[in-house]
């Protein structure tokens, strides 16, 4: 599967756009739409130059598509587009390593319609051991979209 326009928009909505490098809530140098790396694999640093909105979206789309491919490879059950978009948004935020070992993925691979999957999204709301309201909001929306029929 691949992200659709709603999937790209979901991630962009929560990541927001910053054209200058900044520290995210997890204290990681970030730029654009929540990117910690450039497409060439170089890590973002706080000393990097500002980027344009167009380049920010180019970086985002390239990296988001890589996340989508990794999620597609890890999910072994058939998903709806909404379920896929929500899972890619989640993995984009927490990383594919964390997603790969998550109970969320295990439950999706057993039964993608298991109602307890919502609770698995909601477990991922902390950065540096602190509950972050923005993550609470994001996880609630991801869970809502995951279970939306259309």
- Cα–Cα distance for residue pair 21/79, rounded to 1 Å: 35
Question: Which residues are registered as beta bridge partners of 141?
Answer: none
- Cα–Cα distance for residue pair 83/117, rounded to 1 Å: 11
End-to-end CA distance of the chain: give it in Å, rounded: 16
If 0-12 CB within 10 Å is exposed, 13-18 middle and 19+ buried, where does residue 91 land? buried
- Cβ pair 34, 92 in contact under 8 A: yes
Mutual angle of helices 81-94 and 103-110, in 10-degree steps: 160
Q: Is 15 a catalytic residue?
A: yes
Given 13, 15, 54, 58, the catalytic residue: 15
The residues annotated as belonging to the active site are: 15
């Amino acid at each position: 599967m691949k992200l659709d326009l709603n999937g790209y928009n979901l991630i962009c909505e929560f990541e927001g756009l910053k054209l200058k490098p900044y520290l995210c809530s997890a204290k990681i140098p970030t730029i654009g739409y929540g990117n910690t790396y450039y497409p060439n694999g170089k890590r973002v640093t706080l000393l990097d130059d500002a980027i344009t909105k167009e380049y920010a979206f180019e970086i985002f789309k390239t990296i988001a598509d890589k996340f989508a491919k990794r999620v597609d490879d890890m999910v072994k059950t058939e998903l709806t587009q909404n379920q896929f978009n929500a899972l890619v948004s989640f993995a984009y935020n927490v990383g594919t390593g964390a997603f790969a070992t998550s109970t969320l993925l295990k439950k999706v691979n057993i039964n993608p319609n298991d109602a307890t999957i919502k609770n698995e999204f909601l477990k991922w709301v902390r950065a540096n051991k602190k509950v972050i309201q923005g993550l609470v909001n994001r996880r609630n929306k991801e869970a809502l979209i995951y279970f939306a029929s259309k």
